Structure 1
Amino acid sequence: MAAAQVLDSNSVSMWHLPGDSQGDEDMEDDVSDELVEKEPRLLCETLHRGDVQDLQFLGMEHLITASSSGTVSVFRHHPNSQVIGVSQEWDKLHTFPSQNNCSCTSVASQDETIVSCGEDGKMNVLIVGRRPPLRRIDNADSCTINDVIFLKQSEVVTVNSTGQLKVFDLRQPSDQPTSLFLVTGDQTALLCIDKHPTQHHVVAAGGQDGVLSVWDLRQEKYPVTLLEAHSAPMWEVKFHPNHPDHLFTCSEDGSVWHWNASTVGAASAGAGLLAGTGAGSGGGIAFAASMPGGSGPNPSHSCPWLTLDVSRHKMDITSLLPTQKNLPVNSIDIERQILLCGTDEEAIYAMELPAIR
């Protein structure tokens, strides 16, 4: 696992998680008891220029960082010598005209291709091993791009500070998106996004208002489903990579939630409200299952995030961190049955998830 520290001297560090048998193809999904009995062990670390805004693995030995200095870096980890260092760097990719640089907010990778986005509304397409950027999209957005992911080999989707979701086809010469989606008419910022691991037309995004929105990108421009969730900005959303009926979110309010849609029926949902259970102290989670302008979920598809049956089912939502821990949780990731959480209390939590089917 990799972790980013934002301290007086910023660094990127590699850790060994007890019970992690990397490279053992015969390892069972169940996590070893060592996870509870032993502490994670620091393997190596190196200095990082600026705050680490995003962190992504690129294969087994490389990882990418996005910096508040506007720089994108590729680090290589040498497992034999346990040394980590910069192998390639694109300095000050993101800048404001009146300043030397601005923050690179997000990076995404597909094979050897990297896409970076920033506060300047620009997007850069980079190739590992190639010095100059393959492409600069200077007018990708007129405001901050908060997150970017690959949908397909040549398609990326971004979310921005005015509540827009945009799809770009990197094969097209135009700087304009091929599709544009709106969460609402209120211009509430979208902060994070993830795609369904098997149905890539299904994406989930988290907003400044703590609301979780789900889109079917084959349909109209509004979300199919809105889920009133956290009481503060939602910083990350993740589908479980192997069990996508399960989704995880974290928030500025210090909460981490597990959303279980596996019990939601596949029947077509109409407009209405669905009460959520199990998360937080309030327990009132409202679902707007159909948005104006959308054609509604297609009952021929079994994705529960698009086919909430409001008349028969409740979403099972579980809070995964103690309620007294109210410092912001900034990032989450999932490895098999382990959920990792990075927080403002300078701590990383590794939690074993209950059995997921």
Structure 2
Amino acid sequence: MDDIGVKFVSHKISKIRWRPAVSQSLRRSDVFATGSWDDEDNRVSVWQIPQDGGDAEIMDTTAGAAEAVVESEPCLLAEIRHVGDVTDLEYISLENILASSSTGTVTLYRHHRNSQTLAVMHQWEQLHRYGDQTCACTCTAARDEMVVTGGEDGKINILNIGQRHPSRTIAKADSCTINGITFLKQSEIITVNSVGQLKIFDLRLDTGDPVNTFLVTGEQTPLHCVDKHPGQPHIVATGNRDGMLCIWDLRQDKFPVTLLEGHSSTMWDLKFHPRNPDHLFTCSEDGTVYHWDGSAMSSDPILNPIAGTGVGSGGGMSVAANFSLGGATSHSSPWLQMEVARQRLEIKTLLPHVSLPVNTLDIEEQTLLCGTDGESIYTIHVPSVR
């Protein structure tokens, strides 16, 4: 069992996100943000995991430093009241945090690190509504200065950080709740919805219609979360109400290339490891957190001939060479090989004793963060991710 630390807080955690690492630095972030829900006084909070002998803002990326994360309890740096449940949370820079609300509003917060305070920089109010009634903004995604939002009303809003009002609204993007949204490319986004559809939108087009629509099954099982492979954006992972992990190849199929049974209830969040995407992490309503490890398949010369061609004795590409470009894999991804080699996929349970829902997670280097309805933040050291 991997090392686990726990911090008990006074509210249920709906979202948890690592702050980005300092650019061009060999060190990684030890700061993260959380959002709460189901409280009269919800909060956006910023935390730091201290390390003895380290810089106050950053931490070494050594195995010892990663283990020290578990032994060090997160310390609250700053927090601010948030109106409504925090439905999504994202760092868009080292100081700026974007949070969406069940009230339909999106707020941009700034973390002033000198004074350790959070302040509202801008709010886009009531972006999502049914007629005269506001409804939840369920998800956000950001790329450079552009922000996209999805909501219960099936609308997509395009925001610009420097503008007070949406630059565009796709009013009929969907006929049901949009549960997840992320950028696929510079001008393309991908959404998942409550009838089990995955849609691609090209923001350069004026029609507002999806350029492609994918479907899990004919049973309209809701999809609740989505993440794209960091090195191969045509590979996308989603989680559904039944706890199933779905892997899609957007180049060729209208249906998932792989369906993997895992959790016994709704999968609320999932993340590819940003630098080693052969590893994927998921969490669920049933209180479980899984580590899906496909790294054994990447080094299999039969399943992955590219990875099996070694340097030294006969030329060709080494296994190590496949993990260049900042960790993006150039070999055939193990996630597209699952149907022929499921037995090579290793699935580890990281939180076996949690009974209340685990709503959110995020991974940075070897440290996994989890937020729960048990009013707790878990830090888990995952040494198998290298």
TM-score band by shorter chain is 0.7 to 0.9
1:355 aligned residue: 384
The partner residue of 1:182 within 215, 226, 251 is: 215
Structure 2 distance, partners of 1:332, 1:40, is 15
Contact 2:47 2:76 in 1 (8 A): yes
- Percent of residue pairs identical: 52
Q: Does 1:4 align with 2:38?
A: no
Q: Which amino acid aligns with 1:68?
A: S
Contact 2:70 2:379 in 1 (8 A): no
Which whole-Å deviations, capped at 9, do the CAs of 1:40-80 have from their partners, x for residues lacking one? 11111111010000000011000100100000110000001
* Residues 203-218 of structure 1 mapped to structure 2, 5 A cutoff: 203-218=236-251
- Farther off after superposition, 118-127 or 324-333: 324-333
1:149 aligned residue: 182
The partner residue of 1:338 within 357, 367, 373 is: 367
* Residues 53-64 of structure 1 mapped to structure 2, 5 A cutoff: 53-64=87-98
Contact 1:331 1:343 in 2 (8 A): yes
- Paired residues, what number? 324
Contact 1:210 1:234 in 2 (8 A): yes
The partner residue of 1:320 within 345, 350, 370 is: 350
Structure 1 residue runs of 5 or longer lacking an equivalent are 270-299
* Residues 212-291 of structure 1 mapped to structure 2, 5 A cutoff: 212-264=245-297, 265=300
Contact 2:70 2:381 in 1 (8 A): no
The partner residue of 1:106 within 135, 139, 149 is: 139
Q: Does 1:90 align with 2:124?
A: yes
Contact 1:88 1:129 in 2 (8 A): no
CA 1:301–1:180 in 2, change beyond 3 Å: closer, same or farther? farther
Q: Which amino acid aligns with 1:147?
A: G
Which whole-Å deviations, capped at 9, do the CAs of 1:154-177 have from their partners, x for residues lacking one? 110000000000000111111100
Contact 2:365 2:385 in 1 (8 A): no
Q: Which amino acid aligns with 2:77?
A: L
Structure 2 distance, partners of 1:29, 1:231, is 35
Structure 1 distance, partners of 2:371, 2:348, is 18
Post-superposition offset of 1:301: 5.6
CA 1:253–1:311 in 2, change beyond 3 Å: closer, same or farther? closer
Q: Does 1:307 align with 2:337?
A: yes
Q: Which amino acid aligns with 1:352?
A: H
Post-superposition offset of 1:94: 0.2
Contact 1:165 1:181 in 2 (8 A): yes
Contact 1:5 1:346 in 2 (8 A): no
Structure 2 distance, partners of 1:325, 1:336, is 23
Q: Does 1:43 align with 2:43?
A: no
Which whole-Å deviations, capped at 9, do the CAs of 1:197-235 have from their partners, x for residues lacking one? 100000000001111100000012111111011100000
Contact 2:69 2:367 in 1 (8 A): no
Structure 2 residue runs of 5 or longer lacking an equivalent are 1-31, 305-329
Contact 1:266 1:303 in 2 (8 A): no
Post-superposition offset of 1:35: 2.4
More helix by share: 2
Q: Which amino acid aligns with 2:42?
A: N
The partner residue of 2:149 within 113, 116, 129 is: 116
Structure 2 distance, partners of 1:65, 1:238, is 18
Post-superposition offset of 1:23: 5.9
2:45 aligned residue: 13
1:279 aligned residue: none
Q: Which amino acid aligns with 1:338?
A: T
Q: Does 1:126 align with 2:156?
A: no
- Farther off after superposition, 14-23 or 211-220: 14-23
TM-score norm. by structure 2 comes to: 0.80
Which secondary structure does the structure 2 equivalent of 1:35 belong to?
Answer: helix
Structure 2 distance, partners of 1:55, 1:266, is 40
2:28 aligned residue: none
Which secondary structure does the structure 2 equivalent of 1:64 belong to?
Answer: strand
Structure 1 distance, partners of 2:78, 2:262, is 37
Post-superposition offset of 1:337: 1.1
Q: Let me know the Cα RMSD of the aligned residues.
A: 1.9
Structure 2 distance, partners of 1:21, 1:108, is 30
Which secondary structure does the structure 1 equivalent of 2:69 belong to?
Answer: helix
Post-superposition offset of 1:311: 5.8
Structure 2 distance, partners of 1:159, 1:312, is 25
Post-superposition offset of 1:30: 2.6
Compare relative contact order (CA 8 Å, sep 6+) and give the higher one, 1 or 2: 2
Structure 2 distance, partners of 1:312, 1:212, is 13
Which whole-Å deviations, capped at 9, do the CAs of 1:296-320 have from their partners, x for residues lacking one? xxxx961010013636843110000
Post-superposition offset of 1:266: 6.9
Q: Does 1:161 align with 2:194?
A: yes
Structure 1 distance, partners of 2:342, 2:87, is 41
Contact 2:369 2:379 in 1 (8 A): yes
1:293 aligned residue: none
